[in-house]
Amino acid sequence: MEATVVTANAKPLVKVAALCGSVRRGSYNRGLIRSAIEMSKGPINGLEIEDVDITGLPMLNTDMEGEGSFPPVVEAFRHKIREADSVLFASPEYNYSVSAPLKNAIDWASRPPNVWADKAAAIVSASGGSGGARSQYHLRQIGVFLDLHFINKPELFINSHHPPGKFDKNGDLIDAQTRENLKKVLLSLQTFTLRLQGR
């Protein structure tokens, strides 16, 4: 039997479910998730980030629930959240709040048993005006009921309109300072998750 070699710098694996609140193909928030996944495969050790698609979820309707069961697409989504150690939300701001697709996903996963409970979480956002600050604070309020534990610092609000040049035409994050700020959010989420789990 071969011995498993663990390097001195290795960290326990933290599995992160990443949710984008925008279903638009060129969404800057989806670009943030792509950058986060890229960082998890390179400069950040011990972080595994999966982009969890919410576009196929039906609108919440409890008539669709069976006896302890949900539609298959909802069951699959809930399983992804349940198996994750923590959650990364990329939340645009729609009308001073979170987007309808994101709130719908949150509500489905909160149906008993609530699969969000006792997980660490972080939020990043790219939007006009305040950069999504109001959506982040609304999401934190929702998280109180869900029993989600958000990191407090650092915060990342990206005004996606001014100054220009932070994202390319495909919605990919190209600004070096913003990428560094995103990395700091991910490292904070990783550290907080391990602390919350006592690892």
Looking at residue 9, its pLDDT comes to: 61
Which pLDDT tens digit goes with each residue over 143-159?
A: 999 999 999 999 999 99
Question: How many C-beta neighbours within 10 Å does residue 73 have?
Answer: 14
Q: Cα–chain-centroid distance for residue 112?
A: 21
pLDDT at 83 over 50: yes
Q: How many other β-carbons are positioned within 10 Å of the β-carbon of residue 130? A: 15
Instruction: Provide the residue ranges of all domains of the chain, joining segments of one domain with +.
Output: 14-59+68-197
The model's pLDDT over 116-145, given as tens digits with 9 standing for 90+, comes to 999 999 999 998 888 889 999 999 999 999
Percent of the chain whose predicted confidence (pLDDT) is above 70? 94
Q: How many CB atoms lie within 10 A of CB 100?
A: 13
Residue 151 CB neighbour total at 10 angstroms: 19
| pLDDT band per the 50, 70, 90 thresholds, residue 199 | confident
Mean pLDDT of the chain: 92
- Asked whether residue 50 carries a pLDDT value surpassing 90, the answer given is yes
Per-residue pLDDT for 168 more than 60?
Answer: yes
Asked which of 63-67, 71-75, 115-119 is least confident by mean pLDDT, the reply is 63-67
User: Domain 14-59+68-197 adopts which CATH fold?
Assistant: Rossmann fold (3.40.50)
Question: Exposure pattern of 35-69 as b/e (b: 16+ CB <10 Å)?
Answer: bbbebbeeebeebebbbbebeebeebeeeeeeeee
- Residue 95: pLDDT band with limits 50, 70, 90: very high
Both tokens of 26, joined, read: 């060129």
